[in-house]
Structure 1
Amino acid sequence: MVCPFDRAQDVEQRQRDQAISAVLARARPSGPSRTHCKDCDDEIPAARQAFGGIERCLPCQSLVEKKDLR
């Protein structure tokens, strides 16, 4: 008999793997990054700009992504 906790962990791991795969499958921005956030106009750190195609500072990008999940 399978333990219900083991089954729950398997389901949770499968859902986590699917969520990670979905995020990695999204198109990633490319091209030059902005030096200042397009929403709040704060400076975007050089380390973040190095990823390419960055348009928002981290706090603003987090807000946008949270809205997309709803």
Structure 2
Amino acid sequence: MATGWARDGAVQDQIDATVDDAVRRARAKLASGPSRRDCEECGETIPEARRQAIPGVRYCVACQAELDEAEQGRSAYNRRGSKDSQLR
């Protein structure tokens, strides 16, 4: 329930906008276009099943897992704001 000068539903509008922005950012990160036959990182062949399952795939499973872990580490660092707290 909004109070003060905010109109009814303003808080829900802010929540909806935040969710919409998060969805847009996630979709922008998705690969698109033709899939690569070889991993962009290590050069290994990307299996046909993976290329068909994930349109626009650029990395083999192992390299994608490493990239995902690195991304999660950067996110944790940004949330905590301290390199030391990331190592604990």
TM-score, normalized by length of structure 1?
0.62
Q: Give matches, 1:1-70, under 5 Å.
A: 25=23, 26-27=26-27, 28-50=30-52, 51-70=54-73
Q: CA shift at 1:37, angstroms?
A: 0.2
Q: Indicate the structure (1 or 2) with the bigger Cα radius of gyration.
A: 2
Q: Which runs of 5+ in 2 are unaligned?
A: 1-22, 74-88
C-alpha deviation, 1:30, in angstroms: 1.3
Tell me: higher relative CO, structure 1 or 2? Use CA pairs within 8 A at least 6 residues apart. Answer: 1
> Which amino acid counterpart does residue 35 of structure 2 have in structure 1?
S
Moved over 4 A (4+): none
Partner Cα separation in structure 2 for residue 32 and residue 47 of structure 1: 14
Q: Deviations over 1:51-70 (max 9, x none)?
A: 21100000000000000001
Gaps in structure 1 of 5+ consecutive residues = 1-24
- Overall identity of the aligned pairs, in %: 33
Q: Give the total of aligned pairs.
A: 47
Aligned-residue CA RMSD (Å): 1.5
Amino acid in structure 2 at the alignment position of 1:30: S
